[in-house]
Structure formats: C-alpha cells, structure tokens
Amino acid sequence: MSDAKNPFEAMMAQAQDMAKALNPALESFSPTGAFKEFEALWPTMPKDVMEMMFGNTVNKGGLDAKTRLLLTLAGLTMQGAQADSAVRQTVRHALAAGAKKQEIVETIGQMSVFAGIPAMTRALELAQEVMDAKGDNET
C-alpha cells in the first residue's frame, strides 16, 4: 500500500466517486455554495417574536433583542468568525431587530482587540454580504 493520498484525501475522493455514480450533477456540487443558498430560505424572525423570545418581554428591564443579537455577534467574532451561516444569520436578525449597520460594524470592530484582526476581518466580510444583500443605505 503505497498510496500517496492521506486518509482524508482518500475519503473525499471516494465520496466524490460515489456522488458521481449516484448523480453525475453532484460532481460540481459545492457544499459551501449550497449553504448560502439554503440560508436565503431560512426566515428572519419578526422583531416582536425576537423580543418575546430573546428580549425584555419575559425579562422586564433586561436586554432587548437587538442588544442580545449584537452580543451574539461579538461572541461569534471572538470564536474567529468560523461559523459563516451563524454570523450571517445573526446579522440578518440583528438588522430585523433594529440594529443599524454602523452598530453591527462597531460590534465586530470592538472584537478586534480581543479576537484579532483576522477574526474581525472575516466577520466584517460575512456581515457585509448580508448588509449588501439588504440593499438599503441606513447606517
């Protein structure tokens, strides 16, 4: 057994061969691209629902949904912004909860001190995708 492939490469090659055998169209399937398409199908919760579940409806005087979502975005950035879908969904929900684009950018930017520039840059790229798709120029 002098196969030059490492075990992961061999597993991926086998999976690709199996996918091609089942459906030739799967040869060009990209899971990364598919996740972004699936994200567009996930609905954004209305602000009132977010307030009821995550805001101060239950916890009078507590954090509102917008603040909770900005904190979530900060936490995702601190983890290196590795969960693309989670970052994009959190930005979508924060905008729906009333966060301004500037607040989102500042939240992510603040995390550069703790998470580093690469994590901040990645989170900003993901957030920008959502904010560009939203289309309005509210800051």
Both 17 and 51 in one domain: the answer is no
Q: How confident is the model at residue 65 (pLDDT cuts 50, 70, 90)?
A: confident
Exposure on the CB side of residue 124, measured as CA atoms within 13 A: 17
Q: How confident is the model at residue 34 (pLDDT cuts 50, 70, 90)?
A: low
Can you read off the two tokens belonging to residue 81? 């912004």
Both 53 and 78 in one domain: the answer is yes
Cβ neighbours of residue 70 closer than 8 Å, sequence gap 6 or more: 94, 99, 103, 104, 107
Q: What is the pLDDT of residues 85-110, one digit of tens each?
A: 899 999 999 999 999 999 999 999 99
Can you read off the two tokens belonging to residue 88? 């994009």
Number of domains in the chain: 2
Both 119 and 61 in one domain: the answer is yes
Please, what is the average pLDDT of the chain? 80
Which CATH number does the domain housing residue 126 bear? 1.20.1290.10
Cα dist from 115 to 88, 122, 124, whole Å: 18, 11, 13
Residue 139, in any domain of the structure: no
Closest by Cα among 41, 68, 73, 42 to 53: 68
Q: In this structure, which amino acid lies at residue 14?
A: Q
Share of the chain above pLDDT 90, in %: 36
- Range(s) of the domain holding residue 72: 42-134
Distance CA 139, CA 125 (A): 17
CB 131 within 8 A of CB 107: no
Residue 37, in any domain of the structure: no
Both 70 and 127 in one domain: the answer is yes
Both 47 and 27 in one domain: the answer is no
Both 76 and 20 in one domain: the answer is no
Widest distance between CA atoms in the chain: 66
